[in-house]
Amino acid sequence: MREFKRILVTSALPYANGPLHIGHLAGAYLSADVYVRFQRLMGKDIVFVCGSDEHGAAITIKAMKEGLSPQQIVDKYHALFEKTFSRIGISFDMYHRTSEPLHHETSQEFFRKLYKKGEFQEKESEQYFDEEAGQFLADRYIMGTCPKCGNGEAYGDQCEKCGSSLSPTDLINPVSTLSGKKPVLKTTKHWYLPLDQYETWLRKWIETGELDGKVLHDPDVWKNHVLGQCKSWLDGGLQPRAMTRDLDWGVDVPRDIKGHEGKKLYVWMDAPIGYISSTKQWAINNKKNWKKYWQDDETALIHFIGKDNIVFHCLIFPAILRAHGDYILPVNVPANQFMNLEGKKISTSRNWAVWVHEYLDDLPGREDELRYAMIKNMPELKDSEFTWKGYQDANNNELVNNLANFVNRVMVLANKYYDGKVPAFDEDMDFIGPDDQYEAAFHDSELLRLFDDSHELCDFLRKFDFRSAQKVLMDISTRGNQILQFNEPWKTIKENPEAVKAVLNLCLQYVAAMAILSRPFLPFTSDKIRTLLNLPHLEEKGELNKMLDQLSEGKPLLKKGHKIGEPIHLFTRIDDETIQKQIDKLAGSSPVEEPSEKPVAPELKPEVTYDDFQKLDIRTATIIAAEKIEKADKLLKLTLDLGFEQRTVVSGIAEHYSPESVVGRKVSLLANLAPRKMRGVESQGMILMAENGDGKLSFVSAEDGWADGQVIK
């Protein structure tokens, strides 16, 4: 990424109909926070905005379920979000909400501008309508079977199982979520964004970064899975997308637009504009100019999101921004994949989740422990997994045994030998190096090595590779531990006090560096280390940049004679009992059932000729009567209508179907099978059934409404 004058970072607006879980945190918030804190520490002009997404059908549905008003629902979750983000250390510069008047005005201004420019297509279409509720059924007001994966609980806007974006008319067997009734189709008018007309420039911009003869971003630094998803959408052909809805909760279509009555902005039109209104509010509070962050080519706009929002941030929102004309487009959208929990997909509805606010209540003071475990497993390039055992191991083996242990030992020794003062030492004094216990090392060369490692950590952060960056942090701590381990000051203090001074001075420089380097990942720990060292808390205004300058010139971070504080343990062990409690808590939930393994199909029978097949006469038919056959558990006596005649057929389906349930069924009948007597009843043919590996049966038939007696071939 080229150097920009300023950076604007957004995190996906959380939807205000339920609390935050660790999957949310891993997707759009922790990654952004690490990045923003890093850039602040480098002295960058950076603004970090977010807010609650408070509109759309899912809010009103949640309100109905809880017997509250939509406003009460969004107030409740907005307050919870704000508090939870602050408790876990997500350092937004502005956390706004889309129910604020400022946001309504901002998104209406957008809509009006696009309308006046003639960007929208007005189209009448037939949409599902719930006659009982007297309402059109957009998005989450309608459910049905996903045409792509067969999930029976797909919503009108998206199938959460396979991630497909849907429209209500795509659903098979749609049902209103308001009344549970089958909806009817009714005509309504909406404003559509003609995404199909933007396809050419969108493709060029995504694939090459170029637009209007300028290079706006470098696709080589975009994540492959993000580019891949965009390309697959583009290859599939973009369709015009309605930017309005028939709803009663949301941002009104501006009143000066003809036909506005009863229409609200589509939530995916209004939500991303929430980034703009949040920036406006930040600018008002801080007496800044918001336009610099949205309308100047020298700003890098970066959207942090989860992979389910890629299409909205990489295609639809850029299309809206460009249709408006005054806005910049994102230079990168470093979307994360999903984090699973204990081997299963996180599910809000089934309570298979670690809720962030509950974690903070259950394990008070362990904010950084969660941040650490999440960053270690961040789903940056592929889905990842959070396990409580993994969390415990990361804490006990890495944070306690490595980082806390190093800092504690240095603090204890410096207090014991030098009365808590950074010791002066002889620059030419050598000691045992950390790489090889038989090699000599010197203070100045080790400081340069610390510079190199810090530099490497920064490079990973710039590339959104937060896992690797955090790993470098721990490697630096490991190196500090090795310096102590090989030199054993507690043994050599008497015989070689001059070498111990050099070693402990160096280790104190390591601790000072860790206070700054740990800041993006472990902000609470960073504060604690700064307190230990008797240094002011970091304001995140260029301190890392300054540190790198000092180290590159071989200057120590702590001056000799600087008085440090008393040692404390930064992290403590987490015992099995605590972990078991959390696992037990999950056990009370029901995880999403993973699809069972594919059934093994029986082997194919020997080949037959077409002539063999031609001999079979298979017809459509309808069961018009059915009864049990005495003393035959498996058999039903069926009367079939073939249109031109009626037949009696004995069929072995009694263990699967009751006589009442099959009357009226369409079936396929092998009509020229030689008659055969079964339990005294002559069967004049055989109906065709599909059988699965468990021995379950299913009728095979033509579509409903098909005439009887027709040939199946």
DSSP 163-216: --B--GGG-EEEEETTTSSPPEEEEEEEEEE-HHHHHHHHHHHHHH-EETTEE-
CB 17 to Zn ion: min, Å: 21
CB 148 to Zn ion: min, Å: 5
| Contact present, 34 and 46 (Cβ < 8 Å) | no
Q: Round to whole Å and give the CA distance between 51 and 309.
A: 16
Q: Round to whole Å and give the CA distance between 30 and 97.
A: 19
CB 199 to Zn ion: min, Å: 24
Give the number of other Cβ atoms within 10 Å of residue 12's Cβ.
25
Identity of the residue, 173 or 609, whose beta carbon is nearer to Zn ion in the bound complex:
173
Identity of the residue, 168 or 480, whose beta carbon is nearer to Zn ion in the bound complex:
168
| 142-145/184-193 β-pairing | unpaired
CA 429 from chain center: how many Å? 53
Residue 158's SS3 state is strand
Give the number of other Cβ atoms within 10 Å of residue 677's Cβ.
9
Identity of the residue, 146 or 328, whose beta carbon is nearer to Zn ion in the bound complex:
146
Please work out the total of residues on this chain that contact Zn ion, with binding judged by CB under 5 A: 8
| Contact present, 679 and 650 (Cβ < 8 Å) | yes
Residue 217 CB-half CA count within 13 A: 24
Identity of the residue, 165 or 531, whose beta carbon is nearer to Zn ion in the bound complex:
165
Q: Round to whole Å and give the CA distance between 686 and 671.
A: 7
CB 158 to Zn ion: min, Å: 9
The mark string for 432-461 relative to Zn ion (x by CB under 5 A, - otherwise) is: ------------------------------
The mark string for 84-123 relative to Zn ion (x by CB under 5 A, - otherwise) is: ----------------------------------------
Give the number of other Cβ atoms within 10 Å of residue 634's Cβ.
12
- Integer CA distances (angstroms), 611 to 685, 709, 710, in order: 20, 22, 20
CB 159 to Zn ion: min, Å: 3
> Binding to Zn ion (CB under 5 A): which residues in 217-236?
none
Identity of the residue, 148 or 573, whose beta carbon is nearer to Zn ion in the bound complex:
148
| Contact present, 8 and 292 (Cβ < 8 Å) | no
CB 141 to Zn ion: min, Å: 18
Identity of the residue, 159 or 669, whose beta carbon is nearer to Zn ion in the bound complex:
159
Identity of the residue, 163 or 262, whose beta carbon is nearer to Zn ion in the bound complex:
163
Q: Which residue has the tokens 């009108």?
A: 156
| 431-432/440-441 β-pairing | antiparallel
Identity of the residue, 106 or 309, whose beta carbon is nearer to Zn ion in the bound complex:
309
The mark string for 125-164 relative to Zn ion (x by CB under 5 A, - otherwise) is: ---------------------x-xx-x-------x-xx-x
> Binding to Zn ion (CB under 5 A): which residues in 159-198?
159, 161-162, 164
Tell me if 402 contacts Zn ion by CB under 5 A: no
CB 164 to Zn ion: min, Å: 5
| E-only strand ranges, 525-617 | none
Identity of the residue, 154 or 529, whose beta carbon is nearer to Zn ion in the bound complex:
154
CB 160 to Zn ion: min, Å: 8
| Contact present, 413 and 491 (Cβ < 8 Å) | no
Give the number of other Cβ atoms within 10 Å of residue 242's Cβ.
20
Q: Round to whole Å and give the CA distance between 347 and 318.
A: 30
The three-point CA angle 474-480-481 to 5° equals 90
CB 155 to Zn ion: min, Å: 10
Q: Round to whole Å and give the CA distance between 164 and 167.
A: 10
Identity of the residue, 159 or 511, whose beta carbon is nearer to Zn ion in the bound complex:
159
CB 486 to Zn ion: min, Å: 57
Q: What is the DSSP letter of 308?
A: G
Identity of the residue, 155 or 425, whose beta carbon is nearer to Zn ion in the bound complex:
155
Tokens of 631: 């003393």
| Contact present, 269 and 243 (Cβ < 8 Å) | yes
CB 127 to Zn ion: min, Å: 21
Identity of the residue, 148 or 324, whose beta carbon is nearer to Zn ion in the bound complex:
148
CB 349 to Zn ion: min, Å: 16
Residues within the interface to Zn ion (CB under 5 A): 146, 148-149, 151, 159, 161-162, 164
